[in-house]
A and B are shown apart, each in its own frame.
Chain A
Amino acid sequence: MTLSPENLKYLSSHEWVYAPEDGSGVATVGISAFAVAELNDLVYMALPKVGQSVEAGQEFGEVESVKAVSPMYSPVSGQIVEIHEGIVDRLESLNSDAYAGGWLIKIKMSDPSQLDGLLDYQAYQKLLAQNG
Chain B
Amino acid sequence: METQELKTPLYDWHVKNGARMAPFAGYQMPIQYSGIVAEHTATRQAAGVFDISHMGRLRFDGPRADQLLDRLLTRRVLDMQPGQVRYSLVCNEAGGILDDVLVSCLESPSSKIYFLLVVNASNKAKIVRWLTPELADFPDVEFNDVTDSTAMIAIQGPKSLEVCQKLFPPSVLGLGYYRAKVTEQMSKPCVVSRTGYTGEDGFELIVRGEDAPRVWENLLLAGRDLGISPVGLGARDTLRLEGGMPLYGHELDESIDPYTAGLGFACQCKDRDFIGRAVLLTKSKEPPNRKRVGLVLEGRRAAREQSECFDPEGNRIGTVTSGTFSPTMQKPISMAYLATGAASIGSEIQVDIRGTTSKAWVQELPFYKRAGSV
Contact = CB atoms under 8 A, between A and B. Distances in A.
A in complex with B = yes
Interface of A: 40-41, 43-44, 46, 62, 64-69
Contacts of A40: 32, 35-37
Nearest to B38: A41
A41 B36 contact: yes
| A-B complex: 3 closest residue pairs judged by Cβ atoms | A44-B300, A43-B325, A41-B37
A66 B301 contact: no
24 contacts: A40-B32, A40-B37, A41-B36, A41-B37, A43-B300, A43-B302, A43-B325, A44-B300, A44-B301, A62-B354, A64-B325, A66-B36, A66-B40, A66-B234, A66-B238, A66-B324, A66-B325, A66-B327, A67-B31, A67-B32, A67-B36, A69-B302, A69-B304, A69-B354
Interface string B20-64: 000000000001100111001000000000000000000000000
Nearest to B325: A43
Interface residues of B, number: 17
A41 B327 CA distance: 10
Contacts of B304: 68-69
Contacts of A44: 299-302, 325
A66 B31 CA distance: 13
Contacts of B37: 40-41, 66
A68 B302 CA distance: 9
Contacts of A68: 304
B229 to A, nearest CB: 14
A68 B32 CA distance: 13
A67 B301 contact: no
Contacts of B31: 67
Given A40-B35, A40-B36, A41-B35, A67 B300 contact: no
B346 to A, nearest CB: 25
A68 B304 CA distance: 9
A64 to B, nearest CB: 6
- Which residue among A44, A67, A68 has the maximum number of chain B CB atoms within 10 Å of its CB? A67
B38 to A, nearest CB: 8
Nearest to B299: A44
